[in-house]
Structure 1
Amino acid sequence: MMPPDTTGSYEDLLLEQADELKALKIRAGNPSLREIERRASTLFADERVALPPSALSNMFNGGYAGRDKLLCLVRTLLSWDRTGQNCTPPAYGDPVLDPWHDRWETITKARPPRQRTRTTTDIVETAGTANTAEIRAAVAEALAEERERELAQARAFWAAQEAHDASDTRVLDLANRSSHHQADFTSLAVVAEPTKHADEFAGGARDHLISDKLRDQTTRFTKEIQGLLNRTIADHVQIKAVALQVGDERLFMLGHLLNKRTLTAHRFRLKPRAAKVELWMDVSFQLRLDAEREHLMVHKSFFGVFPSQDAKHGLFHYDYERDKAVGYPDAYLQVDATSELFSTLNDPRCDTGRSLAQLQFPVGGKRFRPCLEDIIEFLIVERLVLARDGYEKVIEAGREGFRKNQLMAAMRRDRATVEAFVARYGIRSQA
């Protein structure tokens, strides 16, 4: 990498940096912006630095970016070798990144005094001087930037205070409790609808309310997860759901004590068999409508076990992300462990220092991945946690429902196999 030209103008420095980034991108096999985004979210999930396509396009085309975003992009591109194969990215403080630190500092020093950030209102007011394509591109960029600022502000706020803004939240009643399950749903969650401002911000056209069918599906799934946990290995888990409008899509995020300010689920305590040991579980889901816009489907899920509320490393975690980047499994298991044998197998050219904990073990893919019931059963039968009486029936009923749903989804997507089965075995009615 060439050292930055400290004599150039601010714009020249940015264009020079963009050329270096493009060269690095080509060296990595010229991955798409979506591939870079997915890979960064996988490699650096704990660092909470997002690389949406709008931010990537901005950097590759000579736009300014903060240090964390720039270095995250560089490290992501360096996680591919010259042949396009996966390799271990440099750590944040690795000397190989020093030229990029120097370049960012040079650009930042040359940056003109900050001007007021352009909003969507500013863009609309200047619409008369731009064509439709330019307006749409500018609006999309402004929306992405404002969304990132909102998330950053929300996370900062969470460090000082956890609270719901009742005036911005429409509470849906998820009670529907039966006396049989009342002990398990002592404090049922709420579904937070996006504010009117947020919906207008996302593009205007939308349904005024969540349809009854969609609300029912979300309510049912939320209650099922909460009931499963509280009737097997946990107490007082409160699964909450937040509905967000993302472009034309509606996204539902579910987790323990989730709220719309942080968009982050809390961990909850388990009861380990061992004395004087803490054990916490992290369970979260992202749901969205399927292609036919009739059924909610899981877009992402995370199940992990950790020694504390905020520990980065734990026992293991199961991750699922639908249609992940090429080369990575949609569903995988990571175990926080070491192996002397594995350390001898690393390729010294690109995998020096890679640990067993970084391997992503594939576990069944989109259709046949483990369900939450499987993880709960594992914790119990391996004598890691205490369980409630009768947990077996709860787990079996939930797992049977999950598998039937997966089978139905597979049948909808593969009609030819269904027809072949019917042709061979016929349709037999149950007595």
Structure 2
Amino acid sequence: MFPDELNRWVLTVLPAVNREILAGREPPELLAARLAGGVLAELPAPERIEPEVARRLTTLLGLIGASVARHFQEHDVTRKERPADAFAELRVGPEDTPFLSYFPRLAAATGAEHPDRDCYASLVRWNAPTVEIRLGESVLAVLPGVFGDGRVRSYTGDAGEEGFFALLKDSEALELAANDAVQPMADGAVDVVSGEALDRVAHATLLLAALRQLNMDYANRPVSAGGLRPDHFMDVFRQFAVHWTPGDVPPSGAQDPEFIRRDFLLGVAWPGYPEHLRRIDPALLAAERVELWGQLDADSLPTLLLRRLGLSSDRLEEASADELRDLVSRYPALASWYFLLATNARYASTHLLLAERFLFRPQRQRDADGRGDRELVSNRRGTTGMDRPLLRQLADARRGHMLATLARVPASELARLAGLPPVARLTDADVADIVHKGA
């Protein structure tokens, strides 16, 4: 099965088998037995596979591996201590290579230094169809998929799962476009107060407004329209984020590199970021590691802006509303950058809303009802260990950005003083004009 046949198997047979096992209609050993029956036998040696094909197979085997590992551990949660045993009988290719030996070789063949297990990049970015971000006729960013079939591969075929993967990829594409819009200022190639810079900031602000609207739409989407049920998210979807080997890092939306890059560019002052980056580092691709570690200690864009204007955060903090009005009149760039940071803060609140709606609030209700937590993958914290207090700290850090004191002046007045158009309020139709899906 190489690779189209295996893709069809993962799109059709894998979800069906997973559903049967999870419903208790089939034993947990069924999937491993089906795989042992020859599904993986036709895969060639990884060293003979081209990078693009290796990326497809890495995605497919990632979904297979997560499914096998989940059923093995869920059947007897004491097996969480020895997760690799799930793959003991699983062989790949004509040489009967053990699965956990074959996968790292396949990951190496991708040319991306993919981790030795499933990760965000393969599960979301490579899996879902290509996303293109446009403003008018301009293409600002393209986030390719690797399959070209317009499909999203998932664990059980549930529309909410597929929609969640699509949401993560659409969000990353918007973040990529917004980050690339402001990166030249961070690199020193464009003056932070120049006309080009302010055009770029306006574009980034619009893209982050689209990001917020996209996520709000998903949060309010009914199940009948492909929305995600909290119980499915907690009891089915998240439970596939199990360990393959002790201490490895399962995939998580928290590993979206563009989300993290944006925080570094905009100067989110969260002291836990270095430790968070160290924690997720093994789950990142090589280029993502280089980008994020290089950005971690760089001056943020608000820092560069205030330095360029000869201002300080203390001066802004101590200024009265009238003094802030005077500063914006003299330095209109302050308002442009403020609207970007304020829009990012509003998106942070939406991100926290999603976590509350689909994870933390339902789990608090379960605790109150005496139902407790899942033994396999806890629903009291994210896959990377980020719990509700930490997410709140991050949301507060995004709201407490370096230009936050400008909120003392109404937004409409800031726009007027700086000669800017009113801040746009986007609709779902506006987002559809920006986010375009390909194959």
- Give the TM-score, by structure 2 length: 0.27
Bigger proportion of residues as helix: 2
> Computing the radius of gyration over CA atoms, which structure comes out larger, 1 or 2?
1
Bigger proportion of residues as strand: 1
